[in-house]
Structure 1
Amino acid sequence: MSNNNSQTPNLPKWHELPNFSLHLDQVISITNTYVEPIIGEKLTKTMMHNYFKSGVLESPQGKLHTQMQLAGAIIVDLLKKIFTLTEIKAGLKIMLADTSPQVAYDTFVDIFNEQASRESLSSKALTNIDIEAATPIIQMEYAAVESILFWVDSRKILYENIESKK
């Protein structure tokens, strides 16, 4: 994945997240530290309240949040760019049916960090364009097309799993 910043985006593993209760402002601040440089938008209190209200994230006990809400906020904030909250909720439900939140989160982070550290995504070789020698605009178009195709594949897998769990 090509990155204009000199630093590759990197998400924290579960054990690197604070292991003590956090206030909502702290959850938002930590989430924004990791996610804003990637997606270019800040998580807000309103967004978090929507995540809790819609059931995408488990509401905290009282006003204090745990690693689970923080890890969830990081993942949901990244996924909301390509999936609806309903789709994210369904995907998380399927994923958490087979594993713990910690394992699910760490798996997502491992995949993200490995893919983000790659120079470029080249899952499908182009036959008529040398993407390495292409102009930045053509490289952008390639990345946009790949994003769409990965999104389509992800949704297909999600909906196949939703149907198989019914």
Structure 2
Amino acid sequence: MNKELETWSEQIYNVHLPRWEELPDMDLYKDQVITLIEKYVGTLMTAEEKILTPSMINNYVKWKMIPAPNRKKQYNRVHFAYLIAITILKQVMTIKEVKEGILFQAKVVGTHKAYNFFCDEQEKALRIIMSTINASNKSTSFDKNIDENDIALKMATIAFAAKLIASKKVKLQEDSIRGEV
């Protein structure tokens, strides 16, 4: 196996997203928020573009995806939780789906529990997928016979299938909130 791919997969396999209790418990300014979010999720991003920008944060507030900052310029633990989830989820879902899904989960179990559940599930998913290409964890792989040349196609098809299910579930949740089901 390609050594760079194996090293990277081990790094992703061991990713730890900060839980609610580990998020800053004080108000921070937007530039500090961006720096910390990049630190928390930077390992998971492959694109060369910025992970989070001031205008993205402004749009998320405008679109009511995150609460307005305290005293107009200060962000807290709630903002961090939403921004981490949004930054990751927008990689595979539309902004509308991300908003509806996050708001639904927060309403059902509360922001604190919803965020920690998100972190747990994201880390589990990363470990399952990374075990597919990580030789040292091959015993936990869901597909022990994958050829290295087939990894990109296999992961793309799994990503599409997972996105399809997630999008349908968000739509059903949205419909049930409106009383259409």
- Please indicate the TM-score interval, normalised by the length of the shorter structure: 0.7 to 0.9
Structure 2 unpaired stretches of 5+: 1-5, 134-141
Shift in Å, 1:15: 0.4
Distance in 1, matches of 2:161 and 2:121, equals 18
SS at match of 1:31: helix
- Find the counterpart in structure 2 of residue 92 from structure 1: 102
| Residues 50-105 of structure 1: per-residue CA shift (max 9 Å, x gap) | 11111111111221111000111100000111222222111122112212111110
| Residues 14-38 of structure 1: per-residue CA shift (max 9 Å, x gap) | 0011111111111111111122210
Please give the TM-score of this superposition, normalised by the length of structure 2.
0.79
Change (3 A) 1:6 1:134: closer
Distance in 2, matches of 1:103 and 1:39, equals 24
Report if the CA contact (8 A) 2:25-2:76 is conserved.
Answer: yes
Distance in 2, matches of 1:9 and 1:145, equals 23
Matches for 1:80-119 after TM superposition, within 5 Å: 80-118=90-128, 119=131
- Find the counterpart in structure 2 of residue 59 from structure 1: 68
Please give the TM-score of this superposition, normalised by the length of structure 1.
0.86
SS at match of 2:149: helix
Count of residue pairs the alignment pairs up: 157
SS at match of 2:10: coil
SS at match of 1:4: helix
- Indicate the percent of aligned positions where both proteins have the same amino acid: 24
Shift in Å, 1:3: 7.0
Distance in 2, matches of 1:136 and 1:9, equals 22
Shift in Å, 1:131: 4.8
Matches for 1:15-94 after TM superposition, within 5 Å: 15-41=21-47, 42-62=51-71, 63-94=73-104
CA RMSD in angstroms comes to 2.0
Structure 1 unpaired stretches of 5+: 122-129
SS at match of 1:9: coil
